[in-house]
Amino acid sequence: MNTKMLQIYFTIMLLLQIGPVLSQGHAKHTETRLQKLEILLDRQQSINKELQIEISECKSMKDKKRQNSPTAVAFSTQLTTHLTGLGHHAAVIFDKVILDTTSSYNNGDGVFVVPITGIYVFTWTVSVGVDDWQNTELVVNGIPYAYTKVDSGTGSDYGSGTQIVVLKVNKRDHIWIRTGNTGNGVVDGKTFDTYSGWILFPME
Ligand SMILES: [Ca+2]
């Protein structure tokens, strides 16, 4: 063998000896990495399970809250009759219920009972016929917060008064329309008069 052949021979021998050592080391390294990855995967899977449990708990809590607290509150009523002989601070009872999403308005006494604490909008209209006049007010638990004043003249005169008010009211508060301190006790409903309210946003 010449020198070149010898060099090639030794190189091959060296590679044959080192090869298995290198591949053994590589396999060991890969195995260690795999074990680490398996541990990480196990941890991740248990975290995922915990998160799934928490998510389902949150969902059921949200559903329960929705069931207990109706947030879509709106009612709309109308006075179809002609009221006479109303004294001071007498309830104006709007007899026809057009809309009441939470069944919170009672057309027997004209009271809307707040189903959930929040900011609400209330509006009402009161009309009078020839030569009648009447003040009305919106009361929360008997305390007035807004007023209308309507006074028609003689002849073929008539008029309507409308008011709108935004209030923070609490669950179970009673809200209704009543006559004020002045007026001749006549409210000319006949579908011209309405009392409505709706929630802007809940505060619970
Ligand atoms: Ca008048």
What is the pLDDT, as a whole number, of residue 27? 83
pLDDT at residue 74 greater than cutoff 90: yes
The percentage of the chain sitting over the pLDDT mark of 70, rounded to a whole number, equals 85
Task: Tell whether 184 and 164 lie within a shared domain.
Answer: yes
What does the radius of gyration of the chain's CA atoms come to, in whole angstroms? Answer: 40
Find out whether 89 and 167 touch, Cβ atoms under 8 Å: no
- Domain extent, residue 177, equals 74-202
Measure the CA–CA gap between 146 and 140, rounded to whole angstroms.
Answer: 10
Is the domain of 87 the same as that of 153?
A: yes
Same-domain status, 58 and 151: no
Number of domains in the chain: 2
Ligand 1 centroid, distance to 60 Cα (angstroms): 60
Q: Say how many Å lie between the CA of residue 133 and the centre of ligand 1.
A: 6
Q: pLDDT band for position 71 (50/70/90)?
A: confident
Q: What is the pLDDT of residues 159-192, one digit of tens each?
A: 999 999 999 999 999 999 999 999 999 999 888 9
Question: Could you tell me if 44 and 89 lie in one domain?
Answer: no
Please identify, among 44, 68, 92, the residue that sits at the C-terminal boundary of a domain: 68
Distance from C-alpha of 12 to C-alpha of 115, rounded to nearest angstrom: 90
pLDDT band at 151 (very low <50, low <70, confident <90, very high): very high
Query: Quick one: three-class SS letters along the chain?
Result: CCHHHHHHHHHHHHHHHHHHHHHHHHHHHHHHHHHHHHHHHHHHHHHHHHHHHHHHHHHHHHHHHHHHCCCCCEEEEEECCEECCCCCCCECCCCEEEEECCCCEECCCCEEECCCCEEEEEEEEEEECCCCEEEEEEEECCEEEEEEEEECCCCCCCEEEEEEEEEEECCCCEEEEEEEEEECCCEECCCCEEEEEEEEEECC
In angstroms, what is the span from residue 128 Cα to ligand 1's centroid? 10
pLDDT at 37: 92
Q: Residues 97, 130: one domain?
A: yes
Give the Å distance between the CA of 182 and the centre of ligand 1.
12
Dist. CA 63–CA 59, nearest whole Å: 6
**pLDDT at residue number 1:** 52
The whole-angstrom separation of Cα 74 and Cα 104 is 9
Q: 29 and 98 share a domain?
A: no
Quote the ligand 1 centre to 158 CA distance (angstroms): 9
Tokens of 69: 């607290």
**Backbone phi and psi for residue 14, each to the nearest 5 degrees, phi listed first:** -60, -45
Reported as a pLDDT band with limits 50, 70 and 90, residue 7 is confident
Is residue 17 located within the same domain as residue 79?
Answer: no
Q: Among 42, 68, 94, give the residue marking a domain's end.
A: 68
What pLDDT sits at residue 9?
A: 63
Q: What is the pLDDT of residue 100?
A: 98
User: Ligand 1 centre from 144 Cα, in Å?
Assistant: 24
Residues 81 and 139 in one domain: yes
What's the 152 CA to ligand 1 centre distance in angstroms? 4
Average confidence score pLDDT of the chain: 89
Residue 122: is its pLDDT beyond 60?
Answer: yes
Q: Quick one: 105 and 17 in the same domain?
A: no
* CA 9 – ligand 1 centroid, Å: 127
| 61 shares its domain with 81 | no
pLDDT more than 90, % of the chain: 73
Same domain, 151 and 99: yes
Last residue of a domain, one of 43, 68, 93: 68
CATH code of 133's domain: 2.60.120.40
pLDDT score of 58: 80
Tell me: do 47 and 105 sit in the same domain.
no
